[in-house]
Amino acid sequence: MPPFDPKTLHDGETTDAAPAAVVAVEEPPKRKRRTAKKTPQRAETGAGDHVDEILHEESLREKRRIVAAHAVLNRLADRNQDAANCQRLDIDPEEWRLVAAVFDDVRNEPELRRVISSRQGVLQAIANGATREEISAAETALAEAVRAENEAAATVDDLAGVEAGPVLLQQIQRLEARLAGLRKTRAEAQSHLNRARSQFAMVCSRAPKELQRRRDEGVADVHRSEEGVRLQVLDRKIDGIRSRWASGRVYKWAHEATSGAWWCFLARECPAAIVTGGRHGPGRHIDATVIEEFRRDQVQRVLPELLAEADELRPRVAAMLEEAEAPVHAWAATGCLTLEML
């Protein structure tokens, strides 16, 4: 039997294609290089794979940012969006879906952290009752507590000088106990109001910088306006009269008469009180009668007029300030930035 010949197929038949077929089987198949699929436009313009890789990396980074945003949002929601908490804080559950939609539009991480931090501050403020309505309610409660305390204190003072029998003495003791309770209630109302104002101020301070700038400019414009300037002047005059003239005997004459500041004060406030010669003898003297008349005029005539004018201006200035601060207050109450605020 002849030796095996790979070129022989059947009974001595051979073919020229056989060696090529055998070689093709022996060589391992080459792996095709995977490349990014080019769009027809890129194929025509000759754009290479480098552009596709850059775009692919950008897309991955963008997806990672969005996933991170939703992860933080979900952690926030797990803490704050259980049904009982939403009902207690009076938060619409749909609101978080709107917040999620806003986060989808946020692309840089520092801005995302700022938005989440601000939103969390708003929820904390709502939890502490720091809305405008809560502040108004606290102010009303405080005013009511002060009124009740003053009435009870006046009643106790009226009965202090009365010769009381056993029954009246018992009623006075009850009034004093009630007065102590009212004072405690007033202190609690004041504490609640201070806490609400502090929380609300904290939330307002987290408002976006544009709202802060607009609020500051609006408040400054109000203070520079005609009504604002006039009210500031009136308040200074009222404080001056109350501190200098409304205390009965204004100064201790024997001590203050030798003070240079006292002479300057009288020359500015009541120059008619400085007299020269006359019944007081030679030289300059201070006429206490003129000072007392001036003091009485300041307290009984000038002060009520200034108070009336200030009371007339104050609501208008307060309304202007409220309008200037309205965008920040709206943001603090909702935590959402709208086109109307800007």
Model confidence over 13-36: pLDDT tens digits? 554 544 444 444 455 556 656 555
Contact of 328 with 217, CB cutoff 8 Å: no
Instruction: Give burial (CB, 10 Å; 0-12/13-18/19+) of 163.
Output: exposed
What are the structure tokens assigned to 94, written together? 């749909």
pLDDT of residue 338: 47
- What's the CA angle centered on 317, arms 313 and 318, to 5 degrees? 115
Contact of 266 with 274, CB cutoff 8 Å: yes
The three-state secondary structure class of 8 is: strand
pLDDT of residue 280: 55
Sole residue written with tokens 């609400």: 196
Q: For residues 185 and 52, give the distance between their C-alpha atoms in angstroms, rounded to a whole number.
A: 71
What are the structure tokens assigned to 199, written together? 């929380």
From its phi and psi, is residue 6 left (phi > 0), alpha (psi between -120 and 50) or beta?
alpha
pLDDT of residue 109: 47
187-to-150, 155, 180 alpha-carbon distances in Å: 13, 20, 11
pLDDT of residue 17: 47
- What's the CA angle centered on 281, arms 276 and 286, to 5 degrees? 50
Partners of residue 274 on adjacent β-strands:
286
Please write the tens of the pLDDT for every residue from 319-333. Answer: 898 888 877 777 666
Residues of the chain with pLDDT under 50: 9-11, 15, 17-25, 38-48, 79-86, 88-91, 96-113, 115-116, 119-130, 248, 252-255, 337-342
* E strands present in the chain: 274-276, 284-286
- What's the CA angle centered on 104, arms 103 and 105, to 5 degrees? 85
Q: For residues 249 and 244, give the distance between their C-alpha atoms in angstroms, rounded to a whole number.
A: 10
The three-state secondary structure class of 284 is: strand
- What's the CA angle centered on 338, arms 336 and 341, to 5 degrees? 110
pLDDT of residue 27: 54
What are the structure tokens assigned to 278, written together? 């006359």
From its phi and psi, is residue 318 left (phi > 0), alpha (psi between -120 and 50) or beta?
alpha
Residue type, 110: P
pLDDT of residue 269: 78
